[in-house]
Amino acid sequence: MAIRMSYRPLVLTFLLSLAATGCTSSSGDGGDAGGKLTVWLAVDAQESWPQLVQSTNDRFTQAHPGVKVDVQYQQWTTKNQKLDAVLAGKNVPDVVEMGNSETTNYIVNGAFAAVDPAKYDQSANWLPALADACRADGKTYCVPYYVGARVGIYRTDQFARAGVADAPKTYPELLSALDKLKATLGPEDPNYSALYMPGRYWYAAMAFVKDAGGEIAVKEGDKWKSTLGAPGSVAGLTEWKRLIDTYYVGDRAKDNSDQPAVVGQGRVGVFYGNTWESAMATDERSGGDPKLKDKFGTFPFPGPSGKLLPPFLGGSTLAVPAKSSRKELASDWIRMFTDTQSQKALIAVDTLPNNTVQLAEVAAGGINGPAAQAAATGGWMTPFAPGWTSVEKSNILPEMLERIANNKASVQDAAREADQRINEVINER
């Protein structure tokens, strides 16, 4: 749920401009006298909290008798392509779920209607990584839904074998634990990685950039500029490369997409990921091993800076398309689906809430406790630049990291080349 696939065709600016010029199916709300409210949610809701969807629909139909809620579940890999297509016409969904790294281009092109934050619970305490993705020119165009944060996940039995009593709390403790894992299990298995860190895992690498004071890109005036070649960014990438060279054994041209399946093979001591990945590593359907059940622990991943490694806060928001003819009803459904009661339901299924107040309600001793601690640091987000989806689609960051990991280029040279490529597309609307 933390990695969101983005798609933006070349004609998007034209298609979305139709929404901004008033080509809508209705300027009103259609009233409460029957009809249908169409909601597009990602499959995460269907798979992990269907009861919350049903209870929200029940509450909504009580408040708006006769209005039927039609929830249609979308795959992350095709959702935006489908949305771009329907925005060209008049028959649009009334509510759409968007990854928080996907919203900017749609907002600047007028695809979403503005909403009033005052109508939503905890809006003053929304996590910045979600709230900032919804804001432009002093207005709010979407509502934070939930968030995820990566943590350290470790094999408790391997820690015991290596004589490591507790999960690391500091970066020196982490390195010490990895050294002991490598010394204890490495001689038994040449394919053992004390730390699993594939070369194209850019969410991990950029966390080290952020920890060192670097940024992917910064806004200068009304333009964005890539800064991976700046000293802080280079320092973070250099430390990330040192960890790979010291503790990772494996294909450096891989990304983290099959991380749970690899961890499930039993040759990994520590990995950096979402808490749900430990469950997938024990699930045969995901390529995992059921024998590893109850053998994973989690900890807030410490950074070289002495603070927690700032995680990418990937999550979702909910928006009302500008062409929707039932904007008020759509906003009210979102209000119920994201209110304090609903956020408690998300916490109960090990999902982080959309606000800092309820983040404190996540049980510290539970599997998601470390993720809540990590999220509380504020984490980091990809640049809220109009062309960021083009950056991701071009695979600039993974390709830079692969070159570094495989010693095809120095950190400085690879970062400088990535800066040039990013600058070519990051300001595209």
pLDDT of 13 strictly over 80: no
254: left (phi over 0), alpha (psi -120 to 50) or beta: beta
- What's the CA dihedral at 149, 130, 381, 208 to 10 degrees? -30
Number of H helices, E strands in the chain: 19, 13
CB 126 within 8 A of CB 98: no
pLDDT (tens digit per residue) in 301-316 = 999 999 999 999 999 9
pLDDT reading at 7 higher than 50: no
pLDDT tens figures, 322-342: 999 999 999 999 999 999 999
SS3 state at 270:
strand
The string of DSSP codes covering 304-347 is: TTSSBPPPB-EEEEEE-BTT-S-HHHHHHHHHHHTSHHHHHHHH
What is the dihedral sign for C-alpha 14, 20, 26, 29? positive
- Measured from the Cβ of residue 237, the count of other Cβ atoms closer than 10 Å reads 26
pLDDT score for 29: 56
Biggest CA–CA distance in the chain, Å, is 71
- d(CA 365, CA 124) in angstroms, rounded, equals 27
pLDDT of residue 34: 72
Q: Residue 170 has which token pair?
A: 């500091």
User: Residue 33: its pLDDT value, please?
Assistant: 54
What is the average per-residue pLDDT within 286-306? 96
Q: In this structure, what DSSP letter does residue 205 have?
A: H
Q: Is the pLDDT at 254 greater than 60, yes or no?
A: yes
Higher pLDDT, 66 or 25: 66
Q: What is the pTM of this model?
A: 0.88
Percentage of the chain lying above the pLDDT 70 cut: 92
354 residue type, one letter: N
Distance CA 149, CA 100 (A): 13
| H or E element at residue 272 | strand 268-273
| pLDDT tens digits for range 370-404 | 999 999 999 999 999 999 999 999 999 999 999 99
pLDDT tens per residue, range 15-30: 333 333 333 333 345 4
Q: Tens digit of pLDDT for each residue in 157-199?
A: 999 999 999 999 999 999 999 999 999 999 999 999 999 999 9
Cβ-proximal residues to 316 (8 Å cutoff; 6+ apart), any chain: 1, 42, 44, 97, 98, 99, 100, 145, 146
Q: Quick check: 31 pLDDT over 70?
A: no
Task: Report the mean per-residue pLDDT for the chain.
Answer: 92
Q: Which residues have CB under 8 Å from 407's CB, separation 6+?
A: none
pLDDT tens string 193-251: 999 999 999 999 999 999 999 999 999 999 999 999 999 999 999 999 999 999 999 99
pLDDT in tens, 141-166: 999 999 999 999 999 999 999 999 99
Residues 70-106 pLDDT 10s: 999 999 999 999 999 999 998 999 999 999 999 999 9
